Amino acid sequence: MIDLHNHVLPGIDDGAADMAESVGMCRIAASEGIRVIVATPHSFDGDHVTAPNVIVSMVKSLNDAVQREGLDLRILPGMEIRVVPELLELLLAGRLLALNHGRYLLLEFQHAHVPAGFERLVGLLKEAGYGIVLGHPEKNLRIQRDREYLPKLMSSIEPWDLIIQISADSLTGSAGPDACKTARFLMKKGLVHVIATDAHSVTTRPPVLSEALADASRIVGQSRVQQMLCDVPLAILNGIGFPQLEEVVKPRRWWQIFS
C-alpha cells in the first residue's frame, strides 16, 4: 500500500516530534503493509513554511534511518499546501513541492470554508501542468454542511484534474461523526480516489490503514479499495496512466443473500 499523506518528518510541523518518533511511525506503517510513505509536512497554513530543499534533505535522512532499521519501506518527498490567494505565484517561484517531484500538488482547505475561485484555480494549475490532490475535504465544515458541493464541483472538472483523498480516521469515525458521514457519502458517490492516513504521531493519529480498509471494502468493494490504496497513488507518484475505476459495489442487504 501507498500512504500519500503523512506527517512523518521530525520536528518540521505538528507531526513527528523527533527522529525516534518518525522511525516509530515508519515501524507501525510497515507492520500495516504500507510500503511507500509520502512525507507531506504542512506549508503556508499560517503556522508552517518549509522550503522544498529542506524537505528533500529530511526525507533522505529518514530513509537512511529506516534502512538501518531494516524496514521494507520507502519515504518520498511532498508537501501539504494550504489553498491561499498567492498559491500560483508560490508555485512559479519554486516554493512548492509536488508529490514525488511530479505533477500533483497536495492541497488542503482552511477548516471552516472553501476558498472563492477554487474551480478557477484548478484550471490555472492545469495550464501550468499540475493537477490537485485535495486532502481530507470531508473534514471541511462547509463541505460537511453542503455535501453536494463536491459532487457539483467534480461534475464540471475533467477527470484526474482534481483527485479526492479522504483520511482513514474520518472513515473509521475517529475524526468525529460529521467527517465520518461525509467521507462515507463521498465514497458511495464514487468520488473518492485515495485513502491515506494523514498520520501525525505513533499514538493519537498513527499511520494505520487496516481498519479503514475493512470499512471501505464494505462500502465500495475490495477492487475499488485496492485502487484507492495502490493503483491511483502509484499513478500519481510515477506519472503513469490512471486505472479505469471500478464501479462502486453496493453492499447486499441481509435478505438479498438468500435471493
Whether residue 109 is predicted with pLDDT greater than 90 in this model: the reply is: yes
According to DSSP, the residues that pair with 2 across neighbouring strands are 36
User: Mean pLDDT for the chain?
Assistant: 94
Whether residue 24 is predicted with pLDDT greater than 60 in this model: the reply is: yes
Give the pLDDT confidence score for residue 251 in this predicted structure: 57
Give the pLDDT confidence score for residue 195 in this predicted structure: 99
Say how many domains are in the chain. 1
Tens of pLDDT, residue by residue over 207-225, are 999 999 999 999 999 999 9
Report the distance separating Cα 61 and Cα 181, nearest Å. Answer: 39
Give the domain range for residue 15. 2-258
Mean per-residue pLDDT for 26-30?
A: 99
CATH number, domain with residue 74: 3.20.20.140
The pTM (predicted TM-score) of the whole model is: 0.94
Whether residue 258 is predicted with pLDDT greater than 80 in this model: the reply is: no
Tell me the torsion sign for CA atoms 163, 169, 173, 177: negative
- DSSP letter at 135? E
Tell me the torsion sign for CA atoms 17, 20, 22, 49: positive
Give the pLDDT confidence score for residue 241 in this predicted structure: 83
Whether residue 250 is predicted with pLDDT greater than 80 in this model: the reply is: no
Give the pLDDT confidence score for residue 240 in this predicted structure: 82
**Rounded alpha-carbon distances, angstroms, from residue 161 to 23, 62, 154:** 34, 31, 9
Give the pLDDT confidence score for residue 239 in this predicted structure: 86
Tens of pLDDT, residue by residue over 118-146, are 999 999 999 999 999 999 999 999 999 99
Give the pLDDT confidence score for residue 53 in this predicted structure: 97
Report the distance separating Cα 118 and Cα 152, nearest Å. Answer: 13
Tens of pLDDT, residue by residue over 48-77, are 888 999 999 999 999 999 999 999 999 999
Give the pLDDT confidence score for residue 252 in this predicted structure: 55
Whether residue 248 is predicted with pLDDT greater than 80 in this model: the reply is: no
